[in-house]
Structure 1
Amino acid sequence: MSARNILVINCGSSSLKFALVNEAQATFPLQGLAERLGSPEAVVHWQLGDAKESLNLPGADHREILNHVLPLAQEAAGGQLDGIGHRVVHGGEHFTASSLIDANVLEGIRANAQLAPLHNPANLVGIEAAMALFPGLPQVSVFDTAFHQSMPEHAYRYAVPDFLYKEHGVRRYGFHGTSHRYVSKRAAEMMNLPVEDSSWLSAHLGNGCSTCAIVNGESRDTSMGLTPLEGLVMGTRSGDVDPNLHSHLARTLGWSIEQVDRMLNHDSGLKGLSGLSNDMRTLSEARQAGHPGATLAFEVFCYRLAKSLAGMACGLQKLDGLIFTGGIGENSAAVRERTLDHLKLLGFQLDGEANARCTRGVAGEIQVTGSPRVLVVPTNEERQIALDALALLDA
């Protein structure tokens, strides 16, 4: 049987990321990103083989973009497209694994939109557009939250009145599950350990950030909660703040819930602390030049990350290694070094040369002899989504 091809689609409210994954190829035959959808500046960029191209499509929506992507995907797949995998942010408690999309799955995604109002509706737009355009192709939804459904109740419950959980689903769900699952399996492979007998701390660090405790291939705890705002300092998200901050700002500044919500999600994190940027690369350069805001943002980011990893260790009985992944985790040797400076009580020590070497897609161990293991493992959520789709097609 020839190697199969899965088109992976990740829809945001005004963006659409796509990749063609061939099960036998390490690189993607086709990948691209459409941005600013619905605006006069809508544009799609893609790479087919070694060729990079862009096309301006003023006013284009998700369906129009998919109209352009399909022929590209069919060409890259040699006319043989076997299925489509969709990233869906919130599956609530209903979805504990990836699912073949049918009317019931669509209704479940719709029902969870209140838990992820910025994400699930956009995910649905992409799914419905793809189903209308490719009605004969099997389509699979892969949920960010599904991996964390193995958390024990003492890890996912909030200390709030019981009815809020039982009647309204107020609990910790966690996100980045596809990434944490992929890198923990990959780490076990790299170290020749059985996935079903391995324990990891995982730090997914990008514009969104989260940590996870993973035991025998299952999530035991994670830093994000009901929404992706809980936990670590992120690019523009605050992470943990005093829950009473909302009422404090309402009383002292007259802010509405919407104003506080926007500030915490879009104007905080690295951007808010530094007053400069949400991008760690920009902040690292500014920090080297002595910018006080960039220095503060870097220090708070690393300290809060270390605190979270130390807390996640409560979910483990043993530690086979700490994994760094995501754009910052894979590329910032300085973040890894400073974070582990705060975890000396756990015995972590980095090899400076190995740490500096593991950037730009280079994976490997970066600890000195005698230290608990520290790994840099590039994530590949698109490949994990494709693997889930293929597994469901086989089933």
Structure 2
Amino acid sequence: MTTSPVHHAVLILEVDGAGAHPAAWRLDPAGPANVLQTNHTAQSVLAAESAGFHAVSFQDSRLAPEHGPEARLDAIQRAAYLGPLTHSIGLLPVTDAIYTEPFHLATQLSALDSVSAGRGGWIVSGTGNPVEGAAVGRDAVASEDLRAEIADVVEVGRRLWDSWEDDAVIKDVDTGRYLDRAKVHYVNFTGQRFSIKGPAISQRPIAGQLPIFAPEQLAEGHDAVLFGAPDLDALLAAAHEGAGSGRRFAEVEFLLDAAGESAAARLETLNCWDNTEPAHARFVGSAEDFTEFLRTLLPLVSGVRLHPAVLSIDAAEFAALVLPELRKSQLLAPITTGNTLREVLGLPVATNQFAAL
């Protein structure tokens, strides 16, 4: 099949820790003690914003990493910290939908959207790992129940975000009323494992509904799908197959030649410390070749979530050498300060499901 080029693709940069490769912390100039410091993340995100990335994501898990610095920082808290420090870049925490209380999760994400002026979003995760459940005193969720459980959590989040209409806050001094209570709604949700009466404890998010990304195997009630493949050829094949079927974002890990060292040599060094198989299709090579690969991929998808193997090296090389060429090719969505993440993604205005009741 033939596909017309998409000239509004979105680039998301993953900025967790030192990079996607499990040994990346060994090459980070900040050192292992500092890669999880908030100022380290802030520097990476501000550099990404200046370079012209559309959004950044923050990987998260309740499990301590098997390698490198044995700690995690909550993804929503990191994103919220960066909300007031940034101006145009979207902020996408990767957050568990299985072992997090749905009401609290919706509230935290709504707060993120507020402090970022509508630039918040949510990448849904949910492995049902029993060790993660034990960390918060929850029973394991059977694999066959994961999809339905995540769909319930997403549905509750959407209902809670709509439980206040946009004009529910009236601040009527004469009558002493802060709210028009007719415009604040109970969500009255009952699922298989939990129920929520509602309403939310704060007003509707600035964007109305935060954009929700979900992995392909968990996708339901989402705005965009994240898909991957074991290698680059398979990724292109999956992109061709899904072209034109909604908003789809490809996941790619990459290593670029830098400072006179080939990407292959650096990967060999990293693999000497840890030779774990990559979680995503991996590109290894020059900035020029990666640019050509993305020129082929981007017209087939809504965007790419980029996982730099070593954040301090590969993201900088991409920003300096690849991103400007993609801009010249007119393949990327424009960057405009003041836009919500929904607007950047080309999503329609979020209507309130309760407003017409």
Q: The TM-score by the shorter chain falls in which range? A: under 0.3
Q: Which has the higher contact order (CA 8 A, sep 6+)?
A: 2
TM-score by length of 2: 0.27
TM-score by length of 1: 0.25
Structure that is richer in helix per residue: 1
